[in-house]
Amino acid sequence: MLRIAICDDEQICLEHERQIVIDYLRECKEECRAELFIKGKTFVLEDDGGTKKLEDALRNCKRHTGSGCSFELLRLYIKDGKSVNIAIATDGCAIWHSDGIYYEYDKKEVESLFGLFGVDLSKVYAG
């Protein structure tokens, strides 16, 4: 599993870290998948078109100062067996983070992003 490097220059580090995640998604031409773990369940995305949509949602983000949101694990795989883990908010927040650096993506993308995995967050956290 790839660990994201610590950088001296914060802006370079932010761009480098975000780019690692995007590069993983971009390399997913075939035999690629993402696994989302929520409340002890695993949801899998293996559709190349779906990974492209996931890439678009996560790439179009900006730095966020932190979050009180609830996070779960999103593991991204590429065909050579490498993987990268990020934490993604699963309570409706449009936030993801890696190694303590938070990013905000478009709030309008939350429902469709989780829909790629067949997840309806309102049902996952209902009663």
R_g of the chain, CA atoms, integer Å: 14
Tell whether 13 is covered by a domain: no
pLDDT exceeds cutoff 50 at 12: no
Contacts of 97 (CB under 8 A, 6+ apart): 64, 67, 71, 86, 87, 103
Tell whether 95 is covered by a domain: yes
Work out how many domains the chain is built from and give that number. Answer: 1
pLDDT exceeds cutoff 90 at 101: no
Decide if 43 contacts 36 (C-beta within 8 A). yes
Q: What does the pLDDT look like over 40-68, one tens digit per residue? A: 899 998 776 777 788 777 777 888 887 78
Instruction: Give the per-residue pLDDT at 11.
Output: 42
Tell whether 19 is covered by a domain: no
Give me the domain span that covers residue 78.
30-124
Tell whether 73 is covered by a domain: yes
The lowest-confidence range among 33-42, 96-105, 108-117 is: 96-105
Instruction: Give the per-residue pLDDT at 30.
Output: 55
Tell whether 15 is covered by a domain: no
Tell whether 68 is covered by a domain: yes
Tell whether 91 is covered by a domain: yes
Instruction: Give the per-residue pLDDT at 79.
Output: 66
